[in-house]
Structure 1
């Protein structure tokens, strides 16, 4: 049974009309542990009509890149196969969802959508709902505790949200029942399987053809499960002891898969039961980020920061900077700091960055920019474009944290004011930072060898 807190009635529609249920898949790009999908299957069974899942690839999607599209398409190909095994077709469209989806659902009795948390995700869903004549229901499937069940306001910190989340986790963490579709829905299968089986062809078709220039793993549920299995095979204490050591990779690597909805956070949380440090990141920290973008409409602007952070950064805006770098210099890792350059290169080469280096990376952009406002926008832009999990609540909360969000005031320093400071000596104390730099250099050589540069 799907918890009623996950179900949101977006629009009433004509009753008794329409010959199929449509699930517009957007954020939850998977056939398993997907509350929106199971809700749609159940509704199709109750109405005794077919079900069709539709996904719309928009070439104009904000800050999308060829490597993020490729990762997504690889996951969608696997999702389509998994859906077909359940007798559920997936139709693929290209274009603007606001125009394409309403046309697709003209003959639908019900449109089911999954919940998105970012501003543009909500705007797109609102625009589609306004143009449809059928009932629209939104089902939330990409956090453990639904965002409004967790809190009805923006939380100050992880500590304040944790007190509200922890008593509710067990209520929402139960297995999502997989419901058998009873009505034949495979009569109108299109050629989406052929399109999805050839990512190069699809990317070229939408204007994003670009040979792979990063070394990250493939997208898809099976790849996510491999990473989860490998992570769970490590000693429980290893993550807690060494997760902040850049020279030792002990994290799960699941962030991009969670971002694209290729694996459910509930499935990951159940599998990782007993790993308190990891669950703190997966549930409390991740859902603090969701709370942040849901309730703070300025989540991608410096004005999202608490008053104390804005005040102290303003007071130090004219402080002398020992180094300043333009966006292009930062983009190409052309700074004096080999540790920061390695972090930027890791992001360019792999589409990800070690979690601890991501904090150092953002702090230094603040230190090396002419103003806090420029620093904030440059950090957002680099993160959104080059991280596979960019354009995500976690990313926006992570950037904001570097500037004082979800934190407290510290000792006052030049440029930073009372915002938490980080330096290279801290990296040296945390672990093998030089080994991290060497690893990134090896990745750079490996990519050069592969591409013949």
Structure 2
């Protein structure tokens, strides 16, 4: 590629789409032989705007598309549970890639880096997905500095691209009008373009059936796979159909009843990019049109799945301290510091918390739900985090321990939603001051007595008892 070559008009038009960020511009490599989609966060083939962009560019250039995924042995805070779920998703991705007519190359870093593959296949350009977390964003920035071909990233795992807003918001009701104004333009059926040129190159690839963690000596294998969830796009779509045909109808009544399976339980699939939030929203709306659920139930669910989730992404994008006490709202920091010397009636070590060995049976059950199943009901997550704040020496330690436990055991850990949820529960993020009380100050409080009366807490404890 030469620096003074003109960018083809169609390629320029594609790069101006609202989901696309041009990390490195310029014209595609002359005599390039393919377009590469670097899959990282959006682990799916269908309903994937990043892959759609790669295929659109490839079709204009008359080139095939190949999907590249790199398994990183030391991905931040990941353990065997996460890798196992991810491998299940990669098997679906490989099968779906063949069906869609794109190549699929699976390799393991650091020996097989993206730059090496781009030269092997003589890529004309590379398209990737976005990931707002700290380390993945640094990888994207570093790659952009190294490449000599165009590199775009596509915001594929939110309904409305984050750069449309360009900022975060103090409260959900501040964000909601801006979100609702943009939704109609993005809640549309995904294109799912077909490539005009078939992928035919033979390239070394790690077999998707072979253990991707083989030889990862430093991988934490103490947290094993769970039977409660199967990873991948196929399982995600099956779960979505079950939800819209079943639990959605009673969602308003059951969403805050942890003992009842009344929620979508799609958060692990959203975290791993196995399913598009656009697809979920479209199917939920379709269920209303078909008379399977009331509009109020759909609105309640979409407020969580789109409103809170995308507010969480903006929080992470615009706050470098998203995973620590430093992200506290100023009013929350002041009040918690004022109460820093308050007596903690009970104190627990991180080990005791991890084992679910506290006096509080309800909290222990929530912790064990997460440890055993890789998932905790959202209503219990709020209570779980607030009690950690109550039982630890200071807010900074409480925040750190909540992040450690959440990221270690949750399949949907290491995610903007999780960090924002902890920040909401502990340090006032996306919330307001409440009544002043010991330890918490004016941060919202949840007592075990009142929380346990709002649902059948005894049944929930029975379901998850024992540590």
Q: Which residue of 2 aligns with 1:417?
A: 441
Q: Which residue of 2 aligns with 1:202?
A: 212
Instruction: Give the whole-Å Cα distance in 1 for the aligned partners of 2:29 and 2:363.
Output: 60
SS in structure 2 opposite 1:112? strand
Residue 251 of structure 1, CA deviation = 0.6
Q: Which residue of 1 aligns with 2:10?
A: none
Give yes or no for contact 1:384–1:391 (8 Å, CA) kept in 2: yes
SS in structure 2 opposite 1:205? coil
Give yes or no for contact 1:60–1:96 (8 Å, CA) kept in 2: no
What is the RMSD of the two structures over their aligned residues, measured on CA atoms?
1.8
Residue 87 of structure 1, CA deviation = 1.9
Instruction: Give the whole-Å Cα distance in 2 for the aligned partners of 1:426 and 1:270.
Output: 36
Residue 441 of structure 1, CA deviation = 3.4
Residue 81 of structure 1, CA deviation = 0.4
Question: 1:95 is matched with which residue: 87, 109, 112?
Answer: 109
Residue 401 of structure 1, CA deviation = 0.4
Give yes or no for contact 1:346–1:440 (8 Å, CA) kept in 2: yes
Q: Which residue of 1 aligns with 2:198?
A: 184
Q: Which residue of 2 aligns with 1:348?
A: 371
Q: Which moved more, 1:268-277 or 1:225-234?
A: 225-234
Instruction: Give the whole-Å Cα distance in 2 for the aligned partners of 1:329 and 1:55.
Output: 38
Give yes or no for contact 1:214–1:348 (8 Å, CA) kept in 2: no
Relative to 1, partners in 2 of residues 1:158 and 1:61: Cα closer, same or farther, differing over 3 Å?
same
Q: Which moved more, 1:316-325 or 1:227-236?
A: 227-236
SS in structure 2 opposite 1:203? coil
Q: Which residue of 2 aligns with 1:120?
A: 135
Instruction: Give the whole-Å Cα distance in 2 for the aligned partners of 1:191 and 1:103.
Output: 13
Residue 430 of structure 1, CA deviation = 1.1
Q: Any gaps of 5 or more consecutive residues in structure 2? A: 1-12, 286-294
SS in structure 1 opposite 2:465? helix
Q: Which residue of 2 aligns with 1:11?
A: 24
Relative to 1, partners in 2 of residues 1:204 and 1:236: Cα closer, same or farther, differing over 3 Å?
closer
CA deviations over 1:55-103 (Å, ceiling 9, x no partner): 0110110000101100011001111100011221111111149x71122
Instruction: Give the whole-Å Cα distance in 1 for the aligned partners of 2:44 and 2:28.
Output: 29
CA deviations over 1:3-54 (Å, ceiling 9, x no partner): 8111111102454433221110011110111011011111111111222110
Query: What are the within-5 Å matches in structure 2 for residues 87-166 of structure 1?
Result: 87-96=101-110, 100-106=113-119, 107-149=122-164, 151-166=165-180
Q: Which residue of 1 aligns with 2:302?
A: 279
Q: TM-score, normalised by structure 2?
A: 0.90
Q: TM-score, normalised by structure 1?
A: 0.93
Instruction: Give the whole-Å Cα distance in 2 for the aligned partners of 1:235 and 1:24.
Output: 35
Question: 1:54 is matched with which residue: 68, 84, 105?
Answer: 68
Give yes or no for contact 1:119–1:297 (8 Å, CA) kept in 2: yes
SS in structure 2 opposite 1:110? strand
Residue 178 of structure 1, CA deviation = 1.7
Give yes or no for contact 1:145–1:168 (8 Å, CA) kept in 2: yes
Q: Does 1:71 align with 2:94?
A: no
Instruction: Give the whole-Å Cα distance in 2 for the aligned partners of 1:354 and 1:256.
Output: 12
Q: Any gaps of 5 or more consecutive residues in structure 1? A: 445-453
Give yes or no for contact 1:105–1:132 (8 Å, CA) kept in 2: no
Q: Which moved more, 1:49-58 or 1:367-376?
A: 49-58
Residue 120 of structure 1, CA deviation = 1.1
Residue 152 of structure 1, CA deviation = 2.2
Q: Which residue of 1 aligns with 2:5?
A: none
Give yes or no for contact 2:236–2:275 (8 Å, CA) kept in 1: yes
Residue 391 of structure 1, CA deviation = 0.6
Instruction: Give the whole-Å Cα distance in 2 for the aligned partners of 1:130 and 1:417.
Output: 47
Query: What are the within-5 Å matches in structure 2 for residues 287-298 of structure 1?
Result: 287-298=310-321
Aligned residues: 437
Relative to 1, partners in 2 of residues 1:52 and 1:227: Cα closer, same or farther, differing over 3 Å?
same
Instruction: Give the whole-Å Cα distance in 2 for the aligned partners of 1:235 and 1:254.
Output: 12
